[in-house]
Amino acid sequence: MVYCFYDNLAAAVAPEIQLPNRRMGQALGRETILECIITAYPQAVNYWQKDGRRVVSSAKYRVDAYDEEDNTVVLSLRIHDIELSDYGEYTCVAANALGRDQETMYLYGMTSLSCNNFLCQFIFDNLLRKTYCLLTQNVRQS
């Protein structure tokens, strides 16, 4: 963490991101909320990315920032009606004049079946990924 004096009043801090969860599971058709905690001063430019593209609020996504104490913001990303294409990596990004930070989390599919252990979840994740690849490949060939 970088500290500097800013206007001789408060210590300036480069952005630092913490993720409460690095992996989040949710079933198709459901809704979920991803969160990251950002500490920075002066306040940072904060946003979410999916597949290298910035996620903006829309009918599908809702991005909100909640001010907390001590120069901290909770940045949330609400994803409505989850589809196969929504699964994957999401990156929380924060930048100010002193620096930049980013942390990545993974949204994976869940089934209504009991799938509590790592091997079961690994098999399910890979099955979803292969199904999505086959579906998108067929669409591109059409």
Q: What is the pLDDT of residue 61?
A: 97
- How far, in Å, CA of 38 to CA of 52, rounded? 20
Give residue limits of the domains in the chain: 3-112
Q: What angle do CA 89, 120, 114 make, to 5 degrees?
A: 105
- How far, in Å, CA of 63 to CA of 21, rounded? 17
pLDDT tens by residue, 47-85: 999 999 999 999 999 999 999 988 999 999 999 999 999
Residues 6+ apart with CB under 8 A from 45: 94, 95, 96
Return the CATH class of domain 3-112.
mainly beta
pLDDT tens by residue, 85-122: 999 999 999 999 999 999 999 999 987 554 555 555 56
